[in-house]
Chains A and B, each alone.
Chain A
Amino acid sequence: MITRLPEHWQYRLLLWPLPVLLLLCYVVPFAGIITWSVTLPELGVDNYVRLANDPSIHAVLWRTLYLCAIVGICALLLAFLMAYCWLYSSSRWQRWVELCIFLPFFISVLVRTFGWLVALRNNGLVNGWLQDLGLIDSPLALTRNTLGVIIAMVHFMVPFAFFPLLSSMRQIDDRVLLAARGLGASRTRVFISVFLPQTLPGLLGAFIMVFVFCLGFFIIPAILGGGSTLMAAEYVFLQMFQTYNWGIGAALCVLMLVLVSMLVWLLMRFSRVERLVG
């Protein structure tokens, strides 16, 4: 629940540091990025024309959007199960769920990514176990491809989906569920017709948050993608540092920002942000 501060001007001062920081460290430099996108290598909208027409950039963009969507759906599914489990289980189980969510949350993404590499590679733990159990003859291609990137990204994103979902589930009034049961609905029916619809804003909000977060992923696809899962962030890096096309890199940044802004607008429009974090 949000406690409102009294609306004295002294308290409003407390709000200032963050916007000022954002203005100085983000808005001003980003104005520079926008300028690059229309001035490098020469004045005009050439970079945006290329964004619209270049098949290799389209491939990168589609791959990025597609991966983010899959990761969003998978993370949502797992987070939903865990949040549901947390909500309706004994406190001992709740501790387990919390452990599963919090422990990876505090380990750096780089360490986790290399961890996944050790676990998933051809001679890794998972393939080793599966082969020892006789379930497979030759190792499965679990990483150094798109699948590896998805697994690691889902793992990274589950906590980010868990908290908004849990928050929206906790706001569901138990008495409504009881009333539905009292009126003769089966457990499944209560879940589908009463519980699930009430979590929809949470689901949508969590999905958009995960999706937006994923758009900028760099380390995981760079390490687990086997050099062939180029996503937007790495593509921008490539244009900035490897091939020197700052104009096209900047234009792609602007496009990504527009995309993210639209998604955030959707988030604000269809799902009440304060309920996701409350």
Chain B
Amino acid sequence: MHQTHQQDCIELLVEKARIGQIDRRNFLKAAGLLAALPLAMRSGIGWAQDRPVVIVNWGGDAIDAYRQAWTESFTRETGIPVRIDGSGPTEGAIRAQLASGRPSWDVVDAEPFTSLTLGREGLMRPLDFNTIERSKVNEAFATEFGVAGYLYSYVIAWDKERFDAAPQTWADFWDVERFPGKRTMYKWMNGVLEAALLADGVAFEDLYPLDIARALDKLDELRPHILAYWGSGAESQQLFLDREVSIGQIWNTRAIVLDRDTDGRVGWHYDNACVTPSSWAVLGDNPAGAEPAMRFIDHALEPEGQVELLRLLGNGPSNPAAEALIPEELIELNCGSVENLARQFKLDIEWYADHYGSVLDQFLSRTGA
């Protein structure tokens, strides 16, 4: 009787240790109290470290979704605890972490141009492609300092009750006669200048380097019809829910939710949308060390978790092997499928790495009231 109960206690401990609820010191102490240290030591938990790997993403629903898709299974498999911090790894925030001398972040879910810029300055760890299986993603998505965790897209969404036809192109987006009503676009510029140039007749392949003056002029034309520049996904969603705008350039993830929540009143598609990858990157001198961070990234490239994230949030898998696992009802929603990719243009990460800051200043002073 005593023996079985003790075993049961150890099992509980081992389980807790695996999912990171207790650390090694407390585990050893408790196992010692149970006079079962030798037994416990054979339990096969990999004690990489005491401290959790801190994953930084953009907060909101993504915290729970990342937990379900990635971090719980990672901790189960490796025994390495993970903490998700939703405070948003902007370039400035990552630099602030590094400038403090003692960063508390390990892995960031950053914009690709952020990883590129910071990596070039030697502030990020070069990714270890011995641990991270490079072949899990397309060649273009795995670079020295960042590897795509998922894809997302800036799509045209519209309110079907406002007009019968569906706006297909950015020229339609600019056409306030055929498609009357207010517009909304992204406040921090990604994809907006591109949309303006496409509306002005530029072809996908001629977009970059962006003709900024031409794009800003084209944007001025639409200015009286832009109700708001949205700064957060929730804001863009609210604008459609409240019927304040008739067309918007919004994230595919929010468009999917809107379509569902309005019973199809809000329509959207991937035609002429702007697709872009996210970027897993690791801070230089990250507290948990290189190895666990790289292992997490490798884990997050597994197809199962990526499909789970597509189901939960609508983010497209970056691992082509995931495509075979996607359930039928989600195939259409995947912005990374071969078919959908062909309808979209790709944000030029190199261009953004070189120009984002200075052009954003110009953009904001032009959009300013």
Contacts and interface: CB of A to CB of B under 8 A. Distances in A.
Contact of B357 (A59, A229, A244): A244
A200 interface: no
B135 interface: no
A6 to B, nearest CB: 46
A258 B227 CA distance: 35
Q: Which residue, of B187, B229, B362, B369, has the highest number of chain A Cβ atoms within 10 A?
A: B369
Given A121-B242, A123-B242, A228 B357 contact: no
A243 B360 contact: yes
Contacts of B188: 242
B362 A56 contact: yes
Contacts of A243: 91-92, 356-357, 360-361
Of the four ranges (under 10, 10 to 19, 20 to 34, 35 or more), the interface on chain A belongs to 20 to 34
A228 B92 contact: no
A227 B187 contact: yes
A63 interface: yes
Contacts of B226: 228
B357 A55 contact: no
Nearest to B189: A242
Interface in A133-183: 144-146
Nearest 8 CB-CB pairs, A to B?
A227-B229, A56-B365, A243-B357, A241-B92, A226-B228, A227-B187, A144-B228, A228-B369
B368 A228 contact: yes
A138 to B, nearest CB: 11
Given A63-B369, A227-B367, A228-B369, A244 B92 contact: yes
B125 to A, nearest CB: 19
A239 B356 CA distance: 12
A246 interface: yes
Given A227-B231, A246-B95, 16 more contacts: A59-B368, A122-B242, A123-B244, A225-B369, A226-B227, A227-B228, A227-B229, A230-B364, A239-B92, A240-B96, A241-B92, A241-B96, A243-B92, A243-B356, A245-B357, A246-B92
A190 interface: no
B355 to A, nearest CB: 11
Interface residues of B, number: 28
Interface string B329-369: 00000000000000000000000000011001110110111
B91 to A, nearest CB: 5
A244 B369 contact: no
Nearest to B363: A56
Nearest to B99: A246
A145 B369 contact: yes
B90 interface: yes
B364 A238 contact: yes
20 contacts: A55-B365, A56-B362, A59-B365, A60-B368, A121-B242, A121-B244, A122-B182, A123-B242, A144-B228, A226-B229, A228-B368, A239-B92, A240-B96, A241-B90, A242-B90, A242-B92, A242-B188, A243-B357, A244-B92, A244-B357
Interface in A60-80: 60, 63
Interface in A97-126: 121-123
A38 interface: no
A121 B243 CA distance: 10
B93 A56 contact: no
Contacts of B93: 241
B158 interface: no
A227 B230 contact: yes
B357 A63 contact: no
Nearest to B230: A227
Nearest to B362: A56
B229 to A, nearest CB: 3
A251 to B, nearest CB: 14
Nearest to B231: A227
Interface string B166-199: 0000000000000000100001100000000000
Nearest to B118: A244
A222 interface: yes
Given A56-B361, A242-B188, A229 B92 contact: no
Contacts of A240: 92, 96
B367 A244 contact: no
B244 A228 contact: no
A59 B365 CA distance: 7
Given A60-B368, A227-B187, A230-B368, A144 B227 contact: yes
A146 to B, nearest CB: 5
A56 B367 CA distance: 11
A39 to B, nearest CB: 12
Contact of A228 (B96, B229, B243, B356): B229
A245 B91 CA distance: 10
B40 to A, nearest CB: 46
B230 A244 contact: no
A225 B242 CA distance: 17
Contacts of A60: 365, 368
Q: Which residue, of B227, B242, B360, B362, has the highest number of chain A Cβ atoms within 10 A?
A: B227
Nearest to B366: A56
